[in-house]
Amino acid sequence: MIQRTLFSEEHNVFRNSVRHFIDKEIVPYHDQWEKDGQVSREIWLAAGEQGYLGCSVPEKYGGPGADFLYATVLLEEMAIHGVTGPGFHLHSEIVIPYIIRYGSEEQKQTWLPKMVSGECIGALAMTEPGAGSDLQNIKTTAVRDDNELVIHGQKAFITNGQMADLVIVACKTTPSEGARGISLVLVERGREGFKRGRNLEKIGWHAQDTSELFFDQVRLPIKNLLGDEGKGFIQLVENLPQERLIVAIRAIATIEAALKWTINYTNAREAFGKTLAEFQNTRFKLAEIKAEATVQRVFVDKCIELLLADQLTAEDAAIAKLRTTETMCQALDDCLQLFGGYGYMREYPIGRAWADNRFARIAGGSSEIMKEIIGRHITGRR
């Protein structure tokens, strides 16, 4: 086993704390949350009280000012435990960084302390019914009317959509200019004309609220622009490498967890007078997964180092997401097969992981988009 050298003793202490929190505050309630279609607000407040939200938020805005490794610990442990309901990663490592990087001082002072405490839940609304990976094709508009912006449009598949108190919405402020006409706008809960559609029923991630959002002539002050007008597309592109690395971190942790579950099961389960682990096919399958997981773990950890040094490229993030998610889906399928009929039962973690994690090949840009990014880079066609 290759020794991971990224984490200090402080990170390891934090990991033990996170494990205890998940075991005590999340795992016992997760089945009910899956039936409800969303988690409780209390778990957000509890996570905030423990310092698990917005690890990267500077101390002046109520955060711990910690490095990305603390977020990595939380991502990994959530994946290992198979708890998909709390959308902490989206809130803390995708939404909050936009406000830190592009927000005005007023926006930071207003929202970051509440997001760290769990009082304010964040969401990012990019995807639309007719625009997923192709962000330039969004139709939602934010048109100026004197000193206000008037938003009209629809978003789909929005994580934390039902519970969100603050949504970063990608809009066309100058529709005729394509990507250069996109801006990011902050929309608060309670704005007239801002409505949530149904909580979408998904194949997996049943405890995670995922929604349609509707904007019917929603009026906002100009100060709700996040960063400069017309810079939204650039802002989205700049933040995508971290978003894709987050998906990769969860994926490799899931592979490692699935391998552990399957090793334990095949060593205990008997067929034809011997354990499943004694069959060559079982050992070969587990060996293949172990080899892939080891190689990809090294690359993902390298990408984390690059992110910490502000050197992670779009190409490397795309490679990490592509390989880990494709491998994860194959590994989960192979592991489920070794569990036999029991693997298809949701009471077994392998069955839940198989259903929950198929989305990883789509989230943050599909595998096909990742190949396009990598292909353009290696052929010099930017």
Catalytically active residues are 243
Check the CA dihedral 336-337-342-344 and report its sign: positive
Are 210 and 34 in contact by the 8 Å Cβ rule? The answer is no
| Cα 133–chain centre separation | 15
Listed residue (324, 359, 53) closest to 210, CA to CA: 359
Task: Fill in the DSSP letter of residue 208.
Answer: S
Q: Which two tokens stand for residue 316?
A: 């490397």
CA distance 348 to 116: 33
Task: Determine which helix (DSSP H) or strand (DSSP E) holds 36, and give its type and residue range.
Answer: helix 27-36
b/e string for 57-77 if b means 16 or more Cβ within 10 A? beeebbbbebebbbbbbbbbb
Burial class (CB in 10 A: 0-12, 13-18, 19+), 347: exposed
CA atoms lying within 13 Å on the CB side of residue 49? 8
Q: Residue 56 carries which side chain, given as an amino acid letter?
A: S
Are 25 and 78 in contact by the 8 Å Cβ rule? The answer is no
